[in-house]
Amino acid sequence: TSFGGELELALRFAEGWRAYSGIGVTRAKYNTFVNAFGDFSDNEVPYIPAFTANYGLAYQARWGGYVQVDARTFGRYFLDDQNTSRQDAFTLVDARIGYKTESLDVSFFAKNIFDQRYIINLYDFAGTGGGFGNVGDPATYGVRAKLKY
In this structure, is the dihedral angle defined by the CA atoms of residues 110, 113, 117 and 118, taken in order, positive or negative? negative
CB atoms within 10 A of CB 81: 19
Question: Distance between CA 88 and CA 63 in Å, rounded?
Answer: 42
pLDDT, averaged across the chain: 92
Q: Average pLDDT, stretch 42-55?
A: 94
pTM value is 0.86
Q: CA angle, 76 as apex, 86 and 82 as ends, to 5°?
A: 35
Per-residue model confidence (pLDDT) at position 1: 87
Question: Distance between CA 39 and CA 74 in Å, rounded?
Answer: 27
pLDDT tens track for 118-137: 998 888 765 566 678 899 99
